[in-house]
């Protein structure tokens, strides 16, 4: 496994830190900048952002996949469109909308996990997939995953 490095981070907040209001429903509700390092060849990347602390169960904030294997970042404020430049596809979040939906916890502090998946190939999956559909499509082709977490409390 030497050289099998996969790491994810954001230049907007550190792992375990508070997510700036700009990236939440209380601010501009735009996707944060995400970067990663990958020490091996991949066919594509996928990313899911989820809040396991939601009262109704895990709430999906972002589903994005078929990110080309040579890419190492997602810029801030990606368009809310099913298909982005380079064939990148976005799925449906728990609101039933396409793309990123920022933190909007009803009460208390919530954790938001951004999980990056390095995949052997691109996925034969249409735009608009749910997190569950993406997970099913990725079965057997995940090389490695990496995670970062941010927190948010309304009125912080």
* pLDDT for 4: 77
- The pLDDT of residue 154 is 86
Contact 52, 89 (CB under 8 A): no
pLDDT value at position 89?
98
pLDDT digits (tens, 9 = 90+) for 111-134: 999 999 999 999 999 999 999 999
pLDDT over 80 at 87, yes or no:
yes
pLDDT reading at 103 higher than 60: yes
φ, ψ of residue 155 to 5 degrees: the values are 75, 25
- List the chain domain ranges: 12-152
Architecture of the domain made up of 12-152: Alpha-Beta Complex (3.90)
pLDDT tens digits for 10-52? 999 999 999 999 999 999 999 999 999 999 999 999 999 999 9
Q: What is the pTM of this model?
A: 0.96
pLDDT value, residue 156: 57
Strand partners, 144: 118
Confidence at residue 18, expressed as pLDDT on a 0 to 100 scale: 97
Scanning the structure block, which residue is given the tokens 């995953």?
Answer: 145
Q: What is the mean pLDDT of residues 81-104?
A: 97
Q: How far apart are the C-alpha atoms of 26 and 154, rounded to whole Å?
A: 8
* Strand-pair category, 44-51 with 34-38: unpaired
């Amino acid at each position: 496994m030497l050289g099998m490095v996969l790491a994810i981070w954001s230049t907007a907040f550190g792992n375990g830190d508070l997510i700036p209001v700009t990236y939440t429903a209380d601010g501009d509700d735009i996707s944060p900048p995400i970067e990663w390092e990958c020490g091996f060849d991949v066919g594509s990347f996928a990313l899911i952002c989820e809040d396991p602390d939601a009262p109704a169960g895990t709430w999906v904030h972002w589903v994005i996949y078929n990110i080309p294997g040579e890419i190492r970042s997602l810029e801030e404020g990606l368009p809310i469109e099913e298909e982005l430049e380079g064939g990148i596809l976005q799925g449906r979040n728990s609101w039933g909308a396409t793309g990123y939906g920022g933190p909007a916890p009803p009460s208390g502090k919530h954790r938001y996990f951004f999980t990056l998946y390095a995949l052997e190939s691109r996925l034969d999956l249409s735009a608009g997939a749910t997190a569950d559909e993406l997970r099913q499509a990725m079965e057997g082709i995940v090389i490695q995953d990496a995670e970062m977490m941010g927190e948010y409390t309304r009125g912080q």
